[in-house]
């Protein structure tokens, strides 16, 4: 199974990278842009007997290593292709 | 007393900590390799600065899972003294030994400059030789030193007086302009509730001789040495 994981800073946590990107976009003339957040995107394959098991394992991976829950939230998608 | 300095892949201040302890402060110190278990009797374990595991994913996120860290967590839980400097501070936060997290500097730039620090608390093994309000001059050099904690955690830090150092101006005021990285409340260093684990972004190890601009960093190490001598006495 192919897993796509998105890690973003929590709401309310200062995101200086997102702010800098937003300013750059404004400078380029994209004044309609608001609330830019910069995060991480990870893709990985997992070998699991079922989607439920894969979900459980991926959640564990995120909690332990891939995200820091003090400052970040995550979500992921699992698809059957690999 | 015996000091251990851990070398992670990508640590780069381990030699400076080692040299300052051995040559400037005449201490007994050994290097510890991250892949080994923590064996032997140590009074203080130092996690030095650098870029462990290339700072991949997040600073300190992978070093936390180095084999030696299990021993360090046990050592800390049993009351052993643990000092994390810069990347070491990041590792201690990632491993849960200290609360909060260190994030990208608010100005996005890597900062490398001397800073003034104000001693906020002195009833810890790390600041016992200092006076409350005492100013220290030490360098910082980091890209991700912006201390963050949620409001409940900040409240706990206040209540238990865990904020040990703040960035201040030359007059000792924690002004916004004296905050080099956007840290909440100008926080430069905190300890845990039990007061035996201390993390700070500034580098005491490169401020141990006046020839380098300051010897204020040595006062952190001499505090630790004095606390360990006291401990040894009281344990007979």
Using one digit for the tens of pLDDT, what is the confidence trace for A27-72? 999 999 999 999 999 999 999 999 999 999 999 999 999 999 999 9
The reported pLDDT for the residue numbered A82 is: 62
**Set of chain B residues whose Cβ sits within 8 Å of the Cβ of A14:** 103, 106, 146, 148, 182
pLDDT at B234 over 90: no
**Average pLDDT estimate for B64-90:** 97
Measured between CB atoms, which of A13, A17, A68 is closest to B58? A68
pLDDT band with cut points at 50, 70 and 90 for residue B11: very high
pLDDT at B161 over 80: yes
Distance between CA atoms of residues B17 and B5, nearest Å: 7
Out of B44, B59, B86, B191, the active site residue is B86
Whether B207 and B215 have beta carbons less than 8 Å apart is answered as yes
pLDDT band with cut points at 50, 70 and 90 for residue B41: very high
**Between these two residues, A81 and A57, which has the higher pLDDT value?**
A57
Interface check for A33 against chain B (CB to CB < 8 A): the answer is no
pLDDT at A11 over 80: yes
pLDDT band with cut points at 50, 70 and 90 for residue A81: confident
The reported pLDDT for the residue numbered B231 is: 87
CA–centroid distance for B167 within its chain:
14
pLDDT at B38 over 70: yes
**Average pLDDT estimate for B143-171:** 97
Distance between CA atoms of residues B11 and B8, nearest Å: 5
The reported pLDDT for the residue numbered B232 is: 86
Q: Which residues lie below 8 Å from residue B7, measured CB to CB, with a gap of 6+?
A: B14, B31, B32, B33, B34, B48
Interface mutation vs chain A, best among B53, B57, B91, most A CBs within 10 Å: B57
Radius of gyration, alpha carbons of chain B: 16
Interface mutation vs chain A, best among B53, B55, B58, most A CBs within 10 Å: B58
**Average pLDDT estimate for B168-181:** 97
Whether A58 and A76 have beta carbons less than 8 Å apart is answered as yes
Indicate the pairing of strand B163-168 with strand B187-191. antiparallel
Sign, CA dihedral A53-A55-A57-A59, equals: negative
Rounded to two decimals, what is the model's pTM? 0.95
3-state secondary structure of A82: coil
From B58's Cα to the closest Cα of chain A, the distance in A is 8
Strand blocks (E) in chain B = 2-7, 28-33, 44-47, 81-85, 101-103, 111-119, 135-142, 146-148, 163-168, 187-191, 197-200
Half-sphere exposure of B187 (CA within 13 A, CB side): 26
């Amino acid at each position: 199974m192919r897993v796509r994981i998105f890690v973003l800073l929590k709401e309310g946590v200062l995101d200086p990278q997102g702010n800098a990107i937003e300013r750059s976009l404004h400078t380029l003339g994209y004044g309609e842009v608001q609330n830019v957040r910069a995060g991480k995107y990870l893709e990985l394959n997992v070998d699991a007997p079922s989607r439920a098991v894969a979900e459980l394992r991926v959640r564990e991976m995120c909690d332990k290593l891939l995200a820091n829950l003090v400052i970040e939230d995550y979500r992921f998608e699992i698809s059957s292709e690999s | 007393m015996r000091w251990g300095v851990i070398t992670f892949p990508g640590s780069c201040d381990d030699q400076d900590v080692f040299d300052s302890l051995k040559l400037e402060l005449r201490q007994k110190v050994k290097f510890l390799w991250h892949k080994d278990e923590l064996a032997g009797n140590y009074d203080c374990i130092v996690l030095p600065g650098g870029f462990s595991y290339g700072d991949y994913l997040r600073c300190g996120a992978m070093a936390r899972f180095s084999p030696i860290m299990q021993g360090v967590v046990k050592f800390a839980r049993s009351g052993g003294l643990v000092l994390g400097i810069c990347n070491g501070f990041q590792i201690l936060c990632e491993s849960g030994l200290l609360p909060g997290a260190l994030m990208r500097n608010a100005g996005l730039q890597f900062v490398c400059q001397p800073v003034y620090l104000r001693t906020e608390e002195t009833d810890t093994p790390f600041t016992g030789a200092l006076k409350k309000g005492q100013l220290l001059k030490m360098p910082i050099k980091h890209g991700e030193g912006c201390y963050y904690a949620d409001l409940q955690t900040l409240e706990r830090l206040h209540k238990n007086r865990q904020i040990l150092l703040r960035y201040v101006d030359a007059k000792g005021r924690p002004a916004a302009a004296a905050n080099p990285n956007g840290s909440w409340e100008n926080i430069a260093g905190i300890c845990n509730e039990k007061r035996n684990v201390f993390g700070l972004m500034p580098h005491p190890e490169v401020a141990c001789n006046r020839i380098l601009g300051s010897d204020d960093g040595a006062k952190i190490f001499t505090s630790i040495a004095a606390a360990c001598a006291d401990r040894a006495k009281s344990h007979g």
